[in-house]
Each structure stands twice: as C-alpha cells, then as structure tokens.
Amino acid sequence: MKPIILVTGANGQLGSVLTPALRARYGTDNVIASDLLPRPGYESRFEILDATDESRMTEVVRQYGVSQIYHLAAILSASGEKAPLRTWDINMTALLNVLEVSRKEGIEKVFYPSSIAVFGESAPLENTPNNAFLDPLTAYGISKAAGENWAKYYFAKFGIDVRSVRYPGVIGYQSDPGGGTTDYAVEIFHSAVRNEPYTCFLEPGETLPMIFMDDAIRATIELMEAPKENIKERSSYNLAGLSFSPAEVAAAIQKHYPDFNVSYSPDSRQAIAAKWPDSINDSPAQDDWNWQPQFKMEELVETMLTKLQEKYAAKKLTPSQHSSVA
C-alpha cells in the first residue's frame, strides 16, 4: 500500500522539486503539498498550512489519512541571521508540531532535513565525521541541532520513525535559492547564462560541501524507503556530494562561457561559511542505506548550464529583459 504523504514547505527550494518527485513515485493523489500560499502546479492536493499551527496540521492529517510527513518548512541560515529569535521560534515550533501530531495521529514516518549548519568551530573542517561535536554559530544551525535531538528523543521515547539527513549546499536549476549561505552556487549559473557578470558574496577560496538537487532528492527518498532496521543514526546522517570553492565553480563555468566575469565582495555570509566544513564524511549513510552520489563537478556544471539555457529560452527572455532570479 502506497503511503499518503504530507509535505510542509512545498513551495521552497527543496520542496518544489521533492513534491513532484514524490508524486511521480507514489501518485499525485497520495502526496499533499502544503505551504503558506498556493503555488501554480499544485492545484491538485494542495493545502494552505502554517506549520506553526498544530490544530490546522492535525486537520489536514486527518482529512487525507496522512501516513508520512516530509517536514521542509523552515527559515534558512542567511535569512535566519536577520531575525534569530523568530528563526528559532518558527523552526522549533513547526518541528515540534510535526512530532506531536505524528505521535497523536500515528504517523508512520517523518522526514526532518538537517544541515551542515549544525557544525561549528569544534568540528574538523576536513572529512567531518557524522559524530562530530555540534556547536553551531547561527540561529538556523542551533535550531537544526536541537531538532536532531528532538528527532532522536521522539524515536527513543515514542517510537516515532524520524529520519534525517544533513544537507550540504543544494544546487539545482529547478527552483530559486531559498536564503541560504550557499545560494551563490545557484546564482552564479543564472548570471552566466544571462551573460551578466556575477559578484560573489563569499571569498574565492571558501570551499564548502555541495550536492546536486537530483542527488539530494534521490538521497531523501532512498533514506525514507530504507528498511527501518537499517537506520542506525537517529539524529541525522551526514550527506556528501562534492566540495568546491567559488573560484573553482567559476573556472568550470568559464570553460563554457570564456567571457564570464566573477568578482568577489564577501559579506556577512562569509563569516558563516568559514565555520562550516570543507568536506563531509558520509560513510554511515553509505554503510546503512547504500548512499552514493552520482553527480561530479563537470556533469553538474554541464547540466546546470544546459537546463538553465532551456529554461530561459522557454520563457523567451533575453538578458536585458531579466536582471535577477534569486
């Protein structure tokens, strides 16, 4: 029997791609998208839902007989630093609502996305292990680290099958960036395709872990479909794709766009990125549920450029007609 899935935050950078993937796999009628506002393409099975409203969430769960929740609604790292207390309040209230509704309504599985933002100064920068000490230095990272502990608590105390991965920076052509510290890695491709110069908000050598959107979606679904007995990490799994710096991705793009110009003007996001790992050790994910990324740098760059070229051509937009995306 196919699961009935509720996706919170379905309009976001990840949710807007994961929701169609889930519908393709489990059937449109079995996946309920939800967010604060309606979105074109979600006319079927879409509910207005503020994840901080537990009673409304309960109503939607009961209405559709939901058996799994993919909880994607959150305020991200860079946006979160502008209003840290609001970020904590919204991120934690929403997660605890999901966990409490799951406990009360007998939800079978919950997906909770964590992030490399949980790591801070105590974690080794290279090959950061899954069990590294968590001392995040952003409101977003603090909320995600706390969320991992709540996920583990609800599994241990109530048997709620909560599963989680720590996403690195997610790069995709399908959706716009969502206010994160790694947004440059999406923005830079849009600028290249529009034949516009790009000013990067990180230093040229600031290496960070990244993952292509297709790999991130596949990892999420593979984790959720893995046998319960295989899930050994009940806080969150490290997830690795590839690591690169702004200068490295700029050089890779310039192989296709030789005249593409990139300059650097680091802002407050540089201080956040400097505390995050350069590379991630995801051996527990590989061992427990056979995770393996598929996209390397060359394939990622070629795919991003090709798909964005197609996207702009379909919109019939020239660079002069469209000055910004993210």
Inter-residue contact 246 to 263 (CB < 8 Å): no
The Cα 215–Cα 211 span in angstroms is 7
Measured over the CA atoms of residue 253, residue 186, residue 215 and residue 31, the dihedral's sign is: negative
Residues tagged active-site: 140
Backbone angles phi, psi at 35, to 5 degrees: -170, -175
Cα 88 to chain centroid distance, Å, stands at 18
Length of the chain (residues): 326
Contacts of 40 (CB under 8 A, 6+ apart): none
Residue 309 to residues 173, 213, 312, 316, 318, Cα–Cα distance (Å): 10, 17, 5, 10, 11
